[in-house]
Amino acid sequence: MTRWGLRGVALVYLAFLLMMPVGVILWRTFQHGFGPVTDALTTSQAVHAFRVTAIVAGFAVVLNTVFGVAAAILLVRHRFPGRRILDAVIDLPIAVSPVVVGLALILVYGRNTSVGGWLGDRGFPIIFSIPGMVIATTFVALPLVVRAVAPVLEEIGEEQEQAAATLGASTFQRFTRITLPSIRGALAYGVVLALARSLGEYGAVAVVSGRVVGQTQTVTLFVQERYQNFDQTAAYAAATALVVVAVVSLIISRFLRPRGGER
C-alpha cells in the first residue's frame, strides 16, 4: 500500500514536471502537420541560426575536449603546486550563472576594454561576435569532459602506462595506444554531455552575442526571439528540434556512461 503510494507520488510528479511539458510542445509543434514545421526550419534565418550554433558548439567542444583530457591527466597523474586550486577552478562554472559568465566576458573583452579594444582594432572582435560566444559556451561546458574522464583515469591506474614504458613506448605512444583507448568510453560520454550543453546554451550567449538576427543568433536565441515576435510556429519548431537533440544525446550518453563494477 505504502509502496503504491510512493510510486504514485513519484510518477505524478515526473509526469507533471517532465513528461507533460515535453509532450505539449511536441503536440503544439505538429498540431498542423509537418509542413509548417519544415517551412519554419528552412527559412534563411533559421538555417543561419543552426549554422551559428554548430560553429560555436563545435569550437567549444573541441577546446573543452583537448583541455579536458589534458586537465584530467594532469589532475590524476601528477602532483604539483596549485593542484587543488586547479581542481576547484574547474568546478567553478557549475555554480556561476550563465548571465554572470556573459557579464564577466564583457568586462574583460568588451569593445570599451583595453584587451577587447586592442583585439577589435586588429579586426578580431570578441564580444558581439563568434569568438565571444565560443568563449562563453566553453566556460559553461568546461567541467563536463574533465569530470567524465578523471574518475576513469583514476580507476585504470598508472601501471598499464608504466608497463608500456618498460616495453619501449614513448610518451606519445603511451598516450595514443594505452591511455586514449582506455578512456575512450568516458571521453565519448563527456563529449556528448559537453556537446548537448554547448548546443543548448542560452544565458551566456544571450549576453555576449548582442543577439543580432542573421549574424550572431543561435538556435536558442532564435527560439526566444521568434516567440517574442509572435511567430510561435518557428519558435515551437526550433524548440522541438532542440528537444530531439537533447533526447538523442541522452540516449547516446546512456549507452556510453561508464559503469562501475565491470573488471
Partner 1 sequence: MSILVQNVSKSFGDFAALHDVSVEIPSGSLTALLGPSGGGKSTLLRVIAGLEQPDTGRVEIEGVEATALPPQRRGVGFVFQHYAAFKHMTVERNVAFGLSIRHKPKEEIRQRVQELLELVHLEQFAHRYPSQLSGGQRQRMALARALAVEPKVLLLDEPFGALDAQVRKELRAWLRRLHDQVHVTTVFVTHDQEEAMEVADEIVVMAGGEVKQIGSPDELYERPASEFVMSFLGPVTKIGGELVRPHDVEILTAGTAGARPALISRVTRLGFEVRVDLEVEGEPAWAQVTRGTADHLGLKSGDRVWVLPHKVRTSVAASVGETPPAS
Partner 2 sequence: MSPPPSSEIAAAAPPRWRTARRLPFGTTLTGGLLLIYLSVIVMIPLGAVISRSTDSGWSGFWDQVTAPTAWAALKLTVVASVIVALINLVMGTLIAWVLVRDKVPGRQVFDTVIDLPFALPTIVAGLTLLLLYGPSSPLGLDLAYARTGVVVALLFVTLPFVVRTVQPVLLELDRDMEEAAASLGASPLTVFRRIILPTIAPAMAAGTTLAFARALSEFGSTVLISGNIPLKTQVAAVNIFGQIESDNTTGAAAISTVLLVVALVVLVLLNVIQRWVARRD
**In the range 155-184, which residues lie near partner 1 by CB under 8 A?**
156, 159-160, 162-170, 173, 177-178, 181-182
Q: Which residues contact 37 (CB under 8 A, 6 or more apart)?
A: 29, 30, 233, 237, 240
The amino acid occupying position 133 is M
Burial of residue 78 (CB within 10 Å: 0-12, 13-18, 19+) is exposed
Nearer to partner 1, 94 or 180 (CB): 180
DSSP-derived 3-state class of residue 170:
coil
Question: Hey, which residues between 211 and 250 contact partner 1 (CB under 8 A)?
Answer: none
Residue 142 contact, options partner 2, partner 1, none, Cβ 5-8 Å cut-off depending on partner type = partner 2
| Contact between 125 and 105 (Cβ < 8 Å) | no
Q: Where are the alpha helices (DSSP H) in 30-141?
A: 34-41, 44-77, 83-95, 98-109, 114-121, 130-140
Question: Hey, which residues between 104 and 123 contact partner 2 (CB under 8 A)?
Answer: 104-109
Examine residue 96 and tell whether it contacts partner 1 (CB under 8 A).
no
Question: Hey, which residues between 55 and 114 contact partner 2 (CB under 8 A)?
Answer: 67, 70-71, 73-74, 78, 80, 82, 86, 89-109
Q: Which residues contact 224 (CB under 8 A, 6 or more apart)?
A: 202, 206, 235
* Distance in Å, CB of 207 to partner 2, minimum: 6
Q: Which stretch binds partner 2 (CB under 8 A): 31-39, 44-52, 137-145, 152-160?
A: 137-145
Give the footprint of partner 1 on this chain (CB under 8 A).
Answer: 156, 159-160, 162-170, 173, 177-178, 181-182, 263
